[in-house]
A and B are shown apart, each in its own frame.
Chain A
Amino acid sequence: MPTVIDAAQLVFQPYVLLVIFCSAAFGMFVGAIPGLTATMATALLVPVTFFMDPVPAIATIVTATAMAIFAGDIPGTMLRMPGTPASAAYVQDAYALTKQGRPEAALGASLVFSSIGGIFGTLVLITASPVLAEIALKFSSFEYFWLVVLGLSCAVFISPGSPARGLVALFIGLFAATIGLENPAGAPRYTMGSVELMGGVQFIPAMIGLFAVSEVIRTFIKRGAEVRPPATPGKGIFRQQAKNLVTYPVQALRGSAMGTAIGALPGAGADIAAWISFAISKKFSKTPEKFGTGHVEGLVEAGASNNAAMSGAWIPALVFGIPGDSITAIVIGVLYIKGINPGPMVFITQPQMIYAVFIVFLLANLIMLPLGWLAIKGARQVLSIPQKVLMPVILMFCMVGSFAINNSAFGIGIMLVFGVIGFLMEENDIPIAPAILGLVLGPMLEQNFVTSMIKSDGSFIAFFERPIAAGLGLFTIAVWMIPLLLLLMRRRPPAGVSEP
C-alpha cells in the first residue's frame, strides 16, 4: 500500500495533471480530425516527451492515445469515416443513428462504454498481467492463424444481408491485401513495376475511400437532396447511457472481458476484438435483426471491447517488453529512455513507477468522460451545416487524410480507387466492413499460414496439434459448419424470401 501512495504522489502534482489535461485535449483534437490516427498523435508527441520526467512522459502518450481512439469514433459516427478498423465494426449502427438525428446516442454510448472498457482492462492489467502475459506467450503462428480466421468469419456473419455477399466483400479485401512486397516470400506481387505499389494498399486511405468517398459520391449524385430529420436535442448524454448500462450490463462486461483477453495477444489487438465482440453481441442478442439499423447494443459491447483491448495490449508490453501495436511500440521506446525497462523485474524493482503508470491509465479513462462530452457537443454543430456545403469540405479532408498516412499522393490514389469500389459495392448490397477487415488482417493471415506450413513441413495436422490451436480451430470450424448444417436441414428456402 505505501507503494500506491508513493505512486499517487508521483501523479497528483499540478504539473503532471496539467500535462495530462493538455495531452488529452491534443489527443481529442487529432483523433476527431478525419483521416488522422492515434499512432500519428503518439509519434508527434515523442520528441516532446524526451524533455520530461518519466511519469509525465508516459502520461502524455497514454492519455493522448486513449483520447484519440475514442475521438476517432466522432468522424465515424458523424461522417461515416471510421478512424480505426476497430471502429469500422460498429460504424454502420453509429451512422444510422446519426441519420435518424440521434448522433449523441451513438457517441454517448461509444464514450461511456469506451471508458468502462478501458477501466476494466486497466484493472485486469493491475491484477492479473503476469498470468495473462504467460498465456499470451503460448501463442505461436498456429494459434494466430485460427484467431485471424475466427475474426474474419465474424466479419462475414455480422454483415447485414446474405453471407455469400459478405464473403465476396471479404475476398475483395483479402485480394487487395496481397498487393505489394509485404509477404512472407518478400516477392513483389501485382506491383506492375511501380515502387509505390510495392508498399501495398494502406488500409486507412482504403477505409476512407470505401466508407467516406462512396458517401460523397452518393451525395453528389442526389445533389445533397437528402433531408435529415432535425437533430433531436439529447436528453443528456450520460443519462441515456445510465439506461443503457442497466439494459445491457452483460454486454458491457462480456465486451470488456473479451477485449482485454484478445488485446493481451501481441499483434491481434483491438481490431479483431471489436469484430468478435460485435458478432457475439449479435449472436446472443434478443433482437439481432435490429443490428445495422442504428441499434446501440452492438455499440455497447464492441465499444467496450475496443478500449479494453487497448489496455490489454499493455500486458505483454509491460511484462515482456513485447509491443502489440505501433502505439505500445512507441511507449516501450519511451519507457527505455526513461530508465524503466519493461520486463517482469519492473514490478519488483520499480513498483511505484508501474503503479504511477496504472494510475495514469485510470485517470486517462476518467478524463475522457468530460472532454468527450465537450467534443460531442461541439461535433454535433457539424450536422447543422447543409450537406451540399459540407460534402466538398469532407472530400478535402478525405484527400488530406489519405495523403498524411504515408505523406504521398499515392494514398489519394488508393482512396479514389476504393471510393469507386465502395460505391459499386453498396449499390449491389455488398457490405463494406468485411472488405476492411480482409485488408487489415490479410497480411497477418498469410504470414501465419505460410510460416505455419514451413514450420510443420507442410502438414495440416500441425494446426491442431497444440492445445490452444486445436481449441480455436475446432471452434472456428464449428462456427462455419453449424449454419451450413442448419441450411441443409431447412433445404431450399421458399421462393421470395431470399433477398429483398
Chain B
Amino acid sequence: MRVTDLTLGLLTLLGGIAIYISAIEFQAIPGQAYGAGTMPRAVALVTGLTGLFMIVRAVMEGERLPGLNLADWTKSPAAIARLVSVLVLIVAYIVLSPRLGFLPTAFAVMTIGMLILRVRWWLAMIVALVAAIAIQQSFGRLLLVPLPRSDFLSFLW
C-alpha cells in the first residue's frame, strides 16, 4: 500500500493545513504574544512547506496524477484478515483484561494469536500458559506492576 511521491506530498500539505486550522483556537499566554498555538503553527508551517517541496519535485520528475501502488498482500483477503486480527487482539485485551483479570485474557490472546499463525493447538496453549504465568509473576509480583486483577482466578495472584 505505497502512495506515490505526489500523493505523499499532497497528504503532507493537507496535514500542515489541518494542523494550522486546528491551532487557531489555541490562545497565547495572557500578556504574551506566544503560547499554546506557537508550536503547532510552526510545525504546520514547515509541514506545509515540505509538502509543497515534495509536490514540486514529483511534478518535475514527471508525475501528473496522485496514485497508489498496492502491495502484494493487499490482494489477499486472508492477509488483510490477519492484519485486522492483530488490532482486534489488542483491543480485546484492553477491553477484557480489567473484567477477566490478566491471566485468562493474556492466555486467550496469545493462544488465538498463535492459532492464527497456524501453531499446533496444544503447543499454542502450553506456550501461552507458561508465558502468561511468567509475565504475571515477573511484572506483577517482582516489579509491582498493577496488572488487571479480578476475583476470577485471583487465588493465583
Contacts and interface: CB of A to CB of B under 8 A. Distances in A.
Interface size class of B (residues with CB under 8 A): 35 or more
Contacts of A171: 12, 15-16, 43, 46-47, 50
Given A220-B83, A392-B117, A495-B62, A175 B19 contact: yes
B14 interface: no
A222 B32 CA distance: 54
Given A171-B43, A171-B46, A221-B83, A400 B1 contact: no
B71 A427 contact: yes
A489 interface: no
A412 B128 contact: no
Contact of B93 (A185, A213, A399, A420): A399
Interface in A467-499: 492, 495, 498-499
Contact of A395 (B62, B90, B98, B147): B90
Given A216-B86, A404-B139, A495 B61 contact: yes
A363 interface: no
Given A190-B22, A446-B38, A495-B61, A220 B1 contact: no
Majority-rule SS of B interface residues:
helix
A223 B118 contact: yes
A392 B109 contact: yes
A458 B32 CA distance: 9
Interface string B73-106: 1000001001101110111011001100000001
B94 A221 contact: no
B60 interface: yes
Interface of A: 30, 33, 36, 40, 44, 164-165, 167-168, 171, 174-175, 178, 183-185, 187, 189-190, 213, 216-217, 219-224, 386, 388-389, 391-393, 395-397, 399-400, 403-404, 407, 409, 412-413, 415-416, 419-420, 424, 427-429, 442, 445-446, 449-450, 453-454, 458, 492, 495, 498-499
19 contacts: A33-B138, A164-B50, A178-B39, A178-B40, A217-B86, A223-B82, A389-B123, A389-B127, A393-B131, A395-B86, A396-B132, A397-B135, A399-B90, A407-B145, A412-B90, A413-B94, A420-B87, A492-B60, A495-B62
Interface of B: 1-3, 5, 8, 12, 15-16, 19, 22, 26-29, 32-36, 38-40, 42-43, 46-47, 50, 53-54, 57, 60-62, 71, 73, 79, 82-83, 85-87, 89-91, 93-94, 97-98, 106, 109-114, 116-119, 123-124, 127-128, 131-132, 135, 138-139, 143-148
